[in-house]
Structure 1
Amino acid sequence: MSDFHVHPQATVGEEGGVARFQCQIHGLPKPLITWEKNRVPIDTDNERYTLLPKGVLQITGLRAEDSGIFHCVASNIASIRISHGARLTVSGSGSGAYKEPAILVGPENLTLTVHQTAVLECVATGNPRPIVSWSRLDGRPIGVEGIQVLGTGNLIISDVTVQHSGVYVCAANRPGTRVRRTAQGRLVVQAPAEFVQHPQSISRPAGTTAMFTCQAQGEPPPHVTWLKNGQVLGPGGHVRLKNNNSTLTISGIGPEDEAIYQCVAENSAGSSQASARLTVLWAEGLPGPPRNVRAVSVSSTEVRVSWSEPLANTKEIIGYVLHIRKAADPPELEYQEAVSKSTFQHLVSDLEPSTAYSFYIKAYTPRGASSASVPTLASTLGEAPAPPPLSVRVLGSSSLQLLWEPWPRLAQHEGGFKLFYRPASKTSFTGPILLPGTVSSYNLSQLDPAAVYEVKLLAYNQHGDGNATVRFVSLRGASERTALSPPCDCRKEEAANQTSTTGIVIGIHIGVTCIIFCVLFLLFGQRGRVLLCKD
């Protein structure tokens, strides 16, 4: 048993008030906590003395005779430990004076596992003595089963379940009034992971698909991990994990997949595991493994794989499946490509440059798959980097900023960037300016404001220089934008405004004159026709 890491502390209380002592100690088995006053065990039948399971002693309705030295005694089958002494001094002053209700000690935040006991402490003082009550912050009833109130206001919940989780509120009410003080604490009840559905052992023919299902529950929700013969099994290749890892699917099974598969469900409260066996059945007359498997690099992203058909039982072959993975990756990260039965070579594309790959192949029949061929290795060829994306910003009349994406991988292959620039009217470039692969910008200054510049940026590695990205940019516009605008000639503008106004007025006069002329013409013309008729 260890030493006490919390000793009781000296306390001063008033008659009728409350005193509280606490001690804490660890041991295996868990020690039993008792208390002594003046080296004599306290009377546990005294209803004013409340002992809580977590090593707390509460004394309510204090009296003068309660004064003394208190010790905490911890004992188990291995040893006995006695804490430091703590003096309780009870004074008689102010015992009849009114005091507002107050909570000396409220409930702590607790995290427990199901079936444990929750102790929610609430020590209240006041005169008259306050009434302590409990509620849940969410309004749900606390219930009565397994619930006990210990002492004057401590809530004990035995055999807790996940449903007991919540925020509990302790209220100290002054009798006959609405005056109250509250304190609250959160109770979190966790449940260790347990299985709702165990994986079942299965037998499947070679080349078919095997599936295991493993469902678990708990609080917090458990994480499911799969093991194959004790080794962690991840997704990739012909292995798939779905439904939050609760379903394990293995396609195109072969002899290498025959194993014990373990499902491990784990959360912060505990873990569980279950296992099942996969047995791979082999039908009679299956073909042997493909032979003479070879892999030859074609380019930086392509490898050609060739093979010969198996020695026996080749009539029922319906096709081949080529298994591909990076040599540095684990087997579960492989992927497959199907090949026609009449084809004995396959071009694998979309590979990474300068990378080693592993290849093997299986022959398939309606009754299952052959065993795997001997794996072979091949590395793709290296290549120079692609042209980097490049943008240009004009900073001023004589400066530019070049921007591109950094390529940290260039540093791994003895590479970086090369920068060239020149006025477009000249034949020779300034450069190369060598830049690391981690750099993403560069400024050019002291340029000719009247010139158009050609800028080239390329990436290089141990395989050579890549193609360059070329940009043309003119500084003349920036020079013009930075020049001062000419001063305003207000007289000219005023004259122009006057001319415009005069034109508008003249136009209005002409229009009115035309309208008057037309009206007179119509009137006199009509009168002339009338006179002619009279004659």
Structure 2
Amino acid sequence: MDKLKRILKLSIIPIGFLQIFLMQMDSIRADLNYNHNENNNTIFESVPTTVKTYENDTVMLPCTVNSPQFYTRWYRENDMIIDSRHQDVPPPERYHLWPNGTLQVTNVQTEDTGDFRCEVINQSGIYGEQEHAIEVQYAPTVITSPSGTVEFQIGTVFEIICEAKGYPNPIITWRRKGIDQPNQSDRLENRKRHLVEIESRDDSGPIECVAENGVGEPAVDGIYLNVLFPPEIKVLQSIVHTKINMRAHLECIVISAPPAKVQWYHHGVPVTTDMRIARNDVEIHRNRSQSHYYTETKHQLVVKKVRDSDLGMYECRAENKVGFKSSTIELTGRPMPCLFKTSPVQQPGTAHTLIWQTESLSPISEYKLKFRQVPSGNVTPQNRPPVMNWNELTIPAEFSEGSIHVTTYTLRGLQPASVYEVAVTARNRFGWSDNSKIIRFATGGEVELNYSTETHYTSYDDFEDNFLNDHSVSSVQQYSAASPSSPQSPSSSPSLSSSSSSSSSQVTYARATVSANNYIKFSFSQYLKLLLLMIFYLI
């Protein structure tokens, strides 16, 4: 009963008293630790040491005391290594205890990194203890997963994991094609994850994980990415001109990974090869390498003697496991588009001589010439005049030998000081050629404007919306015309390969014959202003 009363009395001790009691106990514990450290400082001549070293070096961990009567015992973590009281027990390999208590570790390895503790023992027991540490620094190593050469399609998202080892802990960075990449991954200890999204075949190449910690050379490992993509087709000549009984070559270049299977079609029907129609497939790059892992093959369809039935649209169709692509090539006997040439004759005010040429392997039967007057001067959306209709002329062709046909024609009855547009097509037994590029001329000279040097228009109405941009002739440059001559064909026909005036680079310019002192450059509006000013002074 008395014992129960004592317990009940203790149970009603205030909480505040318990808190004060615990605080006093912590203070006593701190004093004991301080006194312990003070005792260690008075016992040991050596001080706690952390030795940073490299593999295969020798490390000395001191444990010297002031008292001559002592024994030494060493621990690695919590495992005892050596005790000087037991000389008959051999120490582990690479460990040696010197008489002054110093522990020697020879040929240190990475696994020697850790904490060491020495205890000094006298007759009455443990006299003191001291902490030491060894940090073995070594160059980094790295392993990636996956590794080696990998193949993925465009649109694939995959992950590369990089595991690095080394001391100090390595810093990991990523490189693509030798260029450092921003950190896009989460770091978990020495593991880094890198997400890769394949957007195009240009993403192919090395992706490397680089680990470095200042010890030795950086470690590098990674993958080489080959991007699989559907075939790409390049057609250098989309229209092949020929004639009956002539040899014709149709060619397409296919680039793909993996290699593609190529089939030729004529009007949607697979082409069957025989003695007259043959195929020739040549790989352009025979030596494969990491940087050139895909195939690039030139595929030719050779028609040795063209027949009427061979003409028409052909299709080069390539397919691999990723996808397919096709391109069309027309085999035709029609003439090539006509090219206008600069007229060497001096132009009168109401007429203009045009020269054009075309290439046709069959005789030309006729030409269709279209021309119309276009607005000039300051044209704005507010004062835009109505578009003039095209005038069309059918011009019989003169017989000429060879494949180059040159024609000269003079348009008469034109309005003076006006701008005209003109285009021409040619016809042979196989049909009409594509439209020529439209050029412009001014009566008394020639104005050449570059609509588009790359696009062949199939309808003249395609140019209606371009008037506001191109009809304003801002400058007219004087030039010396050739001596007057009859409007006949030049003695030497210009070659089709020579550059024509209408296909000059992005420049809008005008040339006209103008009677003015010192060959001053005038626009039409400036010329009219000058004329009005002269009339005013004369009045």
TM-score normalised per structure 2: 0.30
Q: Greater strand percent: which structure?
A: 1
More relative contact order in 1 or in 2 (CA 8 Å, sep 6+)? Answer: 2
TM-score normalised per structure 1: 0.30
